[in-house]
Structure 1
Amino acid sequence: MGTGGSKCGSRTSSWENQGDGVFRDHTPSPELLQSGMNLQICFVNDSGSDKDSDADDSKTETSLDTPLSPMSKQSSSYSDRDTTEEESESLDDMDFLTRQKKLQAEAKMALAMAKPMAKMQVEVEKQNRKKSPVADLLPHMPHISECLMKRSLKPTDLRDMTIGQLQVIVNDLHSQIESLNEELVQLLLIRDELHTEQDAMLVDIEDLTSHVIQNHRREA
């Protein structure tokens, strides 16, 4: 250990005595220069590869964190729109079926009640019809007024009547004819309106039925 320290001390003192000239005259060998350059190149390559790996990692993280593109959003919106349209079409089909059943039920009910309602209306009109003035003019002949009301007057009922009484009956019959004509016109107008409503309802039923049949064929 003492010998090594003396050697090192002598070397140090010799270097110090030589001064800066030693360092100026001393030049590194080509092998050392080449090895240093190789080390620098390896270091640069390692640092570059590290940077590339960091950049790839950052790109991967960026791609994971990046939100959906407009095309993906548009496709999702299209799928949602298709679902909504399918639901609305199914609701429309249910509405058509419900309306069809409702119209059919209303038509059946109206047709079933038409005949009894007509009979009731005729009876009410008979009861509300004004009494023939013949009963007031011929109080002693009540059967004549009843026959006129029932339109069952016979020739034998007229044999014992005077010309004045017959003229009263004729005038009453003319007034009844006029009132019946007016009533007939009103009933015909009502009939036309009912026919129009019936035709419209039948057209609606046919349209709804054809629409439902087409939908069932598409589903099948």
Structure 2
Amino acid sequence: MVHQEKRVYQAQRNERESIRQKLALGSFYDDEPVIYTSCSKNGPSSRLQSGVNLQVCFVNDSSSDKDSDAEDSRTETSLDTPLSPVSKQSSSLSDRDTAEEDSDPLDDCGGFWRVQRRLQEEARVALALARPMARMQVEVERQIQLHRRSPVADLLPHLPHISEGLMKRNLRQGDMRDMSLGQLQVITNDLHSQIQSLNEELVQLLLMRDELHVEQDAMLVDIEDLTRHAHSHQRHQAEKAMSK
């Protein structure tokens, strides 16, 4: 029973990896037309674009003043932060897609192929932005962790180098030899507190990872359903063209 479950799990994992590789290479969309019947205004590229703007704004500590006037709030649609070429491409794609949605109905044959090309471009942009955004988020969290003040700094104000060593998790043997038993006990308690905090953070991250895996599986299933729907739609269009 255990071996059978392992084989099923490995097969599902291989299938997910195959779909991800096809998406990354673009062959999944190039070989088979895809249509998204419920196109939302906030596509993957626009959501990732807003996430990149927020991350860059946070790293550079920049801020934008917002007026209370309703007309100004409608015109302010993006932060005044320089973006990478990929991000600029994503923004231009979103503007162009909005114009296409207003002018081309989905039922039109030409609109179908335009929607297909738009989805292909959005998927490629989303895949290109995923890795830089993840690295940026990790770097931001690492900087926050490095600049976090240790509680020992308040308990041992006359030993600033000890607090700095604790933040870097690196204490010299000579420093500990010169400290009293009470000071060592304070440092021990602080280390135990940090261990407990890191364990709780690890549990939360593992739970988040499991939720993201479930969400990823659901998205892959949606991609398969949309691909089947695109196949049937293409066959229907071909039959209509032949009947005419």
Give the TM-score category using the shorter length: 0.3 to 0.5
- Relative to total residues, which structure has the larger helix share, 1 or 2? 1
Q: Give the TM-score of the pair, scaled to structure 1.
A: 0.48
Q: Give the TM-score of the pair, scaled to structure 2.
A: 0.44
Which has the bigger relative contact order, CA under 8 A and spacing at least 6?
A: 2
